[in-house]
Amino acid sequence: MSNRVYIFDTTLRDGEQVPGCQLNTDEKIIVAKELEALGVDIIEAGFPISSPEDFRSVQEISKAVSEPVICGLSRAVEKDIQTAADALVYAKRKRIHTGLGASDFHIEHKFRSTRAEMLERAERAVKFAKSLVEDVEFFAEDAGRADPVFLAQMIEIVIAAGATVVNIPDTTGYCLPHEYGAKIKYLVENVKNIHRATISVHCHNDLGLATANSLSGLINGARQVECTINGIGERAGNTSLEEVVMILKTHQKLGLHHQIKTDHLTPLSNLVSRMMRMPVQPNKAIVGKNAFAHSSGIHQDGVLKNRENYEIIDPGQVGAGASSIVLTARSGRAALNYRLSLLGYQLDKPELDRAYEQFLLLADQYKNIDEKHLETLMRQVGVGITA
């Protein structure tokens, strides 16, 4: 099995389903071009049957982007599949993503159907999609809660019908990492024709486990991961692209690699956040405003001695510029001295002691101390610029 992991970005489909995050076609093209520059392998550009604007978006993205595979979502219904194929007509490399429910819960309460009928519908849908495009991905919705034996049966049938990729979504974000990993392993070991398809992981974050579950799936044999910029998506979101790619890059021992140009991550995170009007939480891994900010005295002193005392990722690697030393009432002398040196002040020990005393009073009053405060502080303690 190859160790190359394919990055399938669904920011413009699952991500865009978030209320208030809808983008128009022009905005989607801008994001799609940036995803191409980032190096994603597949862009899920939309759900063409869902609206005329989504159809147009998939069509226009197909024209605007040439490297990644462009994928369109459809239910396992002929009209949906045909519409997806029509929307993808200009794509240089195209994929139809079709599927239906695999858990007994979905079969009974959503489809009001039976296992046997679902198997037939799945096979028919994949065969029809295959008659229109070569690359067909099948999703077994709610696979996270599905019986593994039935799931394996469904996956074997759709691969025989022509599916090139089989997506095993944890649609409700229910699984624990070891359970999800075991499910993927079970498919690797029990689906006779599994070598003819790529297994894809698609995890939701309802319990905050989307990234952990995706990683567990990859470790157990999946080779495609479905994710979004900033982890946006239905409810608590999807697996965050930046997290999964930086985990694989940081833990080279896993032996899994991808082609993402990681220095594009922070700028793209900012672009998506701005366009979708969806702020990124400051403590978000990799792309949060505080991901490389240090504010307590002990950490600041450690980082100033050697960045790797408290950082496992070089912020430059993810396009975040440099680490920042934030001045608060928890900061120490080393941090104050460092920030003053950036402004051109060189203080001897007695001056620094005096400045630090005044600094603590200011920091208690203002919480975050910025450059204006530092200039005032230097005037108060009578120190001029020396560098």
Measured from each CB, the residue nearest to Zn ion is 14
Interacting partner of 167 out of Zn ion, ligand KIV, none (Cβ under 5 to 8 A depending on kind): ligand KIV
CB of 226 to ligand KIV, least distance (A): 7
Q: Are strands 135-141 and 94-101 parallel, antiparallel or unpaired?
A: parallel
Interacting partner of 141 out of Zn ion, ligand KIV, none (Cβ under 5 to 8 A depending on kind): ligand KIV
Contact 43, 65 (CB under 8 A): yes
Quick one: which segment of 8-16, 55-63, 307-315, 374-382 binds Zn ion (CB under 5 A)? 8-16
Both tokens of 379, joined, read 């005037």
Listed in sequence order, the residues at least 6 apart from 146 whose beta carbon sits closer than 8 Å to its beta carbon are 102, 103, 104, 140
Both tokens of 281, joined, read 């939480």
Interacting partner of 243 out of ligand KIV, Zn ion, none (Cβ under 5 to 8 A depending on kind): none
Interacting partner of 258 out of Zn ion, ligand KIV, none (Cβ under 5 to 8 A depending on kind): none
Contact 229, 272 (CB under 8 A): yes
Nearer to Zn ion, 14 or 142 (CB): 14
Query: Which residue in 300, 317, 318 sits closest to 309, CA to CA?
Result: 300
Contact 214, 227 (CB under 8 A): yes
Interacting partner of 80 out of ligand KIV, Zn ion, none (Cβ under 5 to 8 A depending on kind): none
Quick one: which segment of 9-17, 67-75, 155-163, 307-315 binds Zn ion (CB under 5 A)? 9-17
Both tokens of 77, joined, read 């219904």
CB of 294 to ligand KIV, least distance (A): 37
Angstrom CA distances, 267 to 18, 211, 214, 261, 286, stand at 21, 21, 24, 12, 12
CB of 143 to ligand KIV, least distance (A): 8
Interacting partner of 101 out of ligand KIV, Zn ion, none (Cβ under 5 to 8 A depending on kind): none
CA-CA-CA-CA torsion for 367, 371, 376, 380, nearest 10 degrees? 90
CB of 170 to Zn ion, least distance (A): 9
Q: Are strands 293-294 and 198-203 parallel, antiparallel or unpaired?
A: unpaired
Give the C-alpha separation, 294 to 301, whole Å: 9
Interacting partner of 139 out of Zn ion, ligand KIV, none (Cβ under 5 to 8 A depending on kind): ligand KIV
Nearer to Zn ion, 14 or 16 (CB): 14
Interacting partner of 123 out of ligand KIV, Zn ion, none (Cβ under 5 to 8 A depending on kind): none
Nearer to Zn ion, 172 or 300 (CB): 172
Q: Does 14 bind Zn ion (CB under 5 A)?
A: yes
Q: Does 54 bind Zn ion (CB under 5 A)?
A: no
Tokens 């005329």 found at = 52
Angstrom CA distances, 188 to 5, 191, 198, 206, stand at 16, 6, 10, 26
Nearer to ligand KIV, 200 or 269 (CB): 200
Alpha carbon of residue 47 to chain centroid: 19
Other CB atoms within a 10 A radius of the CB of residue 367 amount to 10
Binding site for ligand KIV (CB under 6 A): 14, 139, 141, 167, 169, 171, 202, 204
Contact 100, 122 (CB under 8 A): yes
Nearer to ligand KIV, 110 or 379 (CB): 110
Q: Does 242 bind Zn ion (CB under 5 A)?
A: no
Helices 297-305, 333-342: axis angle to 10 degrees equals 60
End-to-end CA distance of the chain: 58
Give the C-alpha separation, 69 to 40, whole Å: 9
CB of 53 to ligand KIV, least distance (A): 19
Nearer to ligand KIV, 22 or 317 (CB): 22
Nearer to ligand KIV, 176 or 304 (CB): 176
CB of 360 to ligand KIV, least distance (A): 50
Nearer to Zn ion, 208 or 321 (CB): 208
Nearer to ligand KIV, 143 or 218 (CB): 143
Rule CB under 5 A: which residues touch Zn ion?
14
